[in-house]
Amino acid sequence: MPVFLGVLRLPRFEGVTQRKLDGTKERIFRTKLIIMAPECIHCKKSPPEVKLRNCAKCSSALYCSRDCQKADWKAHKKICGKNRDGPTTTTKGLETVIDNPFTRLENRTWLHDRSEKDVYGLLIDAYRLRVEDMYSFEGEADMDSIYGGAPNGLRGFRRFLQRVEKSSGLMPPWWDADKKKECEALGMSSSQWHDLQCAVEKSDIVDHYGNPQFPMQLRMFAELVYGRAPGGTSGTAMRQLLMAMENGTNGGTYSHLDVSAGPGRQ
């Protein structure tokens, strides 16, 4: 197996993500897959193919039509009433839930105004998902990562933290050398979920945080750190679209739909 500057070039997973596509098609495919463009919960279509609409009650679920919302209502109504305060309240696994996360990503303050424990866990999970994405989409893994055969990802995580520290404004003001040690210690504790000895996939992140958009937040944060998404793509346009959605300046890409009280409401 050839080795390039401490990186293992690993066999890629079989399936559509590893097909040899030409340059343009590959870039479009990877952008949609990695950055996870918002999509209709029921039919999975995304803009610009369709115009997405928020559920009027919770503002978190997205649908392209009344028919799709009706088809999904039986499942969605079980959680819709719990999400009245907006999409950020659906996130679990955090001590503090912030408003407008994509606006904060754009402003580079996504880690700010959070508890120390939350910041530690988010840094670990952003790193773990990035490593998983690089392995899945580019077939690469650092030799000292768990994908390269190491017992844990601590050394790679330390390099990740160094990058975050060098990226202006990303770390909260209270971050220092002692907090860094505490963060690393959390990652090496096998008694909790943010474990550098364990790999994660997108589905694991969704299950843990209870928010289907949370993997996208972690990926976009990692893109701010590395300057690129896996595959060399950019999530800037998608981040700005979601920021506009949060601030109600989306130019008509999203609107509200309500079938909770029967037909005729929108």
Distance, C-alpha 266 to centroid of its chain: 29
d(CA 143, CA 141): 6
What's the pLDDT at 222?
97
Residues of the chain with pLDDT > 90, as a percent, come to 47
Pairing between strand 3-4 and 254-257?
unpaired
Locate 201 and state its tokens.
């996939």
What's the pLDDT at 31?
42
Q: Burial letters for 230-258: b for 16+ Cβ neighbours within 10 Å, e otherwise?
A: bbebebeebbebbbbbbeeebeeebeebb
**pLDDT by residue, tens only, the chain of 266 residues:** 433 345 454 443 333 333 333 443 344 344 444 445 677 888 988 877 888 887 877 666 788 999 999 998 888 887 775 544 444 445 789 999 899 999 999 999 999 999 999 999 999 999 999 999 999 888 888 889 999 999 999 999 999 999 999 999 999 999 999 999 999 999 999 999 999 999 999 999 999 999 888 999 999 999 999 999 988 888 888 888 888 888 876 554 445 555 554 433 44
Cross-strand pairs, 257: 55
What's the pLDDT at 81?
57
What's the pLDDT at 258?
56
What's the pLDDT at 101?
94
Pairing between strand 7-9 and 140-142?
antiparallel
Do 213 and 87 touch, CB atoms closer than 8 A?
yes
d(CA 145, CA 8): 10
Query: How many CA atoms, within 13 angstroms, populate the side-chain half-sphere of residue 100?
Result: 14
Do 159 and 153 touch, CB atoms closer than 8 A?
no
d(CA 22, CA 71): 37
What's the pLDDT at 30?
45
Q: Which distant-in-sequence residues (6+ apart) come within 8 Å of 35 by Cβ?
A: 216, 219, 220, 229, 233, 235, 238
Locate 137 and state its tokens.
């989409």
- Specify whether the backbone of 38 is left (phi greater than 0), alpha (psi in -120 to 50) or beta: beta
What's the pLDDT at 14?
35
